[in-house]
Amino acid sequence: MTNNKPKPFKYKFVNEGSNLLLELTNATKETLKRVEILTVFLKNEDALGWGPSQVHIRFEPVERILPAEKSILHHTIWINGKQAGPENHHLQKLQVIDGELNPYVLDISWQDTEGKTRFQRIPVGH
Tell me the pTM.
0.87
CA distance 110 to 64: 9
CA 18 to chain centre: 19
105-120: per-residue pLDDT in tens? 999 999 999 999 999 9
Mean residue pLDDT across the chain:
89
14-39: per-residue pLDDT in tens? 988 878 899 999 999 999 999 999 99
* Ordered domains of the chain (ranges, CATH): 9-124 (2.60.40)
Which pLDDT value is given to residue 43?
Answer: 87
Q: What is the mean pLDDT of residues 116-125?
A: 96
CA distance 113 to 45: 42
